[in-house]
Amino acid sequence: MVQPVKSKSGRSPSGVPVSGRAWLMLALATVGFAVNFWAWALLSPLGPRFKESLDLSSFQQSLLVAVPVVVGSLGRVPVGALTDRFGGRVMFPIVSAVTIVPVLSLGLAGHSSLAALLVGGFFLGIGGTAFAVGVPFVNAWFPPERRGLGIGVFGAGMGGTAISALTTVRLVDARGMAAPFLITAAVLAVYAVVAAAVLRDAPGRTVPAEPLARRLAVTFRLGITWQASALYAVAFGGYVAFSVYLPTYLKTGYGLTQADAANRMAGFVLLAVAMRPVGGWLSDRLGPVRILAGALAVVVAGAVVQSFTPALAPVGTVAFLAMAAALGAGSGATFALVALLTPADRVGSVTGVVGAAGGLGGFLPPLVMGSLYGEYGTYAAGLALLAIVAAAALAFTLTAVRAAVRGGDRKPRTGRRSGHHRIAGTTA
């Protein structure tokens, strides 16, 4: 069984000190992640409004919302590799500043036609790549024993999508279409300036020397790249899928009003966001395999229960909130696993691929759920399929992933320390 590592003094590795400067860098990175995700998610809340004003079909509305997400997800692969090379101090201001351009374009002139929205949405996807900048940046600042917590706290910046969901439509109603875009652009500009002035890469950061193409080729050959991608596609992909589709599910399956369904979706999102750093912290203490296994088991149970469409109060609500907590914790644990098994000079590259898998993993389930509901008039089959996928991920975690952790613990990797400087939970 995996056991927490103890120091000579008998303290858990969670007692390893972290400098005040590291916490400051973490706070700035988390804010940057949240701000860029806020921008990245600006079009989604306005999808129904654009559908009505531009007479869009359902497919065109889905395409409008999907384009920034797909670009932001795939863009994490090269951006993560570039972060390995140039560092977060350079990449955070660049990503934030470049994202200002499509935000202003959409707010001032790019919302009058579907073509303009799609072009603006394509470049808006750049904001979604901020995740691949922050993980290697934070990873380098924190000691191995605390990286699960650090990356988990950074991951809470995904709550930036909630800022967009809660403010965009209200600002449009109160101040006009340009308002949310102008405000977001201003916040991005302030952050880019602050990041350029204050952010610093960790002392001794490992900088890869080989060309970008070669680094990506090596990244795709690493086992952890594909293991973490599969797990993140389920954990974070499940979170994305529910945050996108839950209002439709609640409105169709339970007859809730749009406002009530949106509020319940917000509760799901906030709980998942809050549990992400908890998942990272627990991974530092107990090991990521245990936390991932526990989280996936909860998802299996919740999906099975919900497949019977129980009464929303209390059984359905408990099932959904349990899955929200599990998906958030599982997302945090996945990147604790990345920090544990990835060579230090390739964290950005691996993060880019894994982050892309998670983002893309969130957009297949809503399509499947909608198709199955249209065919059978019930969501039972879709939720049963979720239970099967989560069960497969659980089996994968307890076999291949556990073996990789044990093997990695016995093999010191380039750029990483061995001995008692390992992440907690890596001793077989």
Mean pLDDT across 217-223: 87
The residues pairing with 427 across neighbouring beta strands, listed in sequence order, are 3
Q: Return the SS3 of 3.
A: strand
pLDDT band at 213; cut points 50, 70, 90: confident
**Peptide bond just before 412 cis, omega within 30 deg:** no
pLDDT for position 259: 67
Q: How many residues does the chain have?
A: 428
The Cα 263–Cα 265 span in angstroms is 5
**420-278-220 Cα angle (round to 5):** 65
Rounded to 5 degrees, what are φ and ψ at 342? -95, 135
Query: What pLDDT does residue 4 have?
Result: 41
Check pLDDT > 90 for residue 6.
no
Tens digits of residue pLDDT in 25-73: 999 999 999 999 999 888 878 877 887 888 877 677 777 877 888 888 8
- Looking at residues 265-291, what average pLDDT do you find? 89
Cα(80)–Cα(185) distance, integer angstroms: 23
**Dihedral in degrees, nearest 10, Cα atoms 219, 223, 224, 228:** 100
* pLDDT tens, residue by residue, 306-318: 989 898 889 999 9
321: confidence class by pLDDT, cuts 50, 70, 90: very high
Q: How far apart are the first and last CA of the chain?
A: 6
Residue 203 vs residue 212, higher pLDDT: 203
Angle at 365 between CA 364 and CA 369, to 5 degrees: 125
- Which of 61-70, 100-109, 234-243, 287-296 is the least confident region? 61-70
In this structure, of 6-10, 138-142, 155-159, 379-383, the range with the lowest mean pLDDT score is 6-10
pLDDT-above-90 percentage for the chain: 33
- The predicted pLDDT at position 98 comes to 96
Percent of the chain with pLDDT over 70: 90
Burial readout 295-332 (b: 16 or more C-beta within 10 A, e: otherwise)? bbbbbbbbbbbbbeeeebeeebeebbbbbbbbbbbbbb
Query: pLDDT at position 419, please?
Result: 34
Where residue 333 falls among pLDDT bands split at 50, 70, 90? very high
For 369-410, how does the pLDDT look when each residue is reduced to its tens digit (9 = 90+)? 777 887 888 888 888 999 999 999 999 999 999 998 888 655
Q: Residue 287 corresponds to which amino acid? A: G
Backbone angles phi, psi at 308, to 5 degrees: -90, 5
> Over the stretch 155-166, which tens digit does the pLDDT of each residue have?
888 888 888 878
Mean confidence (pLDDT) of the chain: 83
What number of H helices and E strands is found in the chain?
A: 19, 0
The most confident of the ranges 87-96, 139-148, 155-164, 201-210 is: 87-96
Q: What is the dihedral of CA 293, 294, 300, 304, to 10 degrees?
A: 160
Structure tokens at 286: 């107990």
- What would the pLDDT profile of 339-354 be if each residue is shown by its tens digit? 888 887 788 788 888 8
* Structure confidence at residue 135 (pLDDT): 85
Write down the pLDDT at residue 402: 93
SS3 of 259-321: the string is HHHHHHHHHHHHHHHHHHHHHHHHHHHHCHHHHHHHHHHHHHHHHHHHCCCCCHHHHHHHHHH
pLDDT at 127: 92
CA distance 180 to 104: 10
* Residues facing 3 on adjacent strands: 427
CA contacts within 13 A on the Cβ side of 329: 26
Which residues have a Cβ under 8 Å from the Cβ of 109 and sit 6 or more positions away?
116
Q: What radius of gyration do the chain's Cα atoms show?
A: 21
120-134, 251-265, 317-331, 378-392: which range is least confident on average? Answer: 251-265
pLDDT of residue 180: 92
What is the model's pLDDT at position 266? Answer: 79
Give backbone dihedrals phi and psi of 173, rounded to 5 degrees, phi first: -65, -35
Is residue 295 scored above 60 in pLDDT? yes
pLDDT of 107 strictly over 80: yes
pLDDT at residue 226 is higher than 60: yes
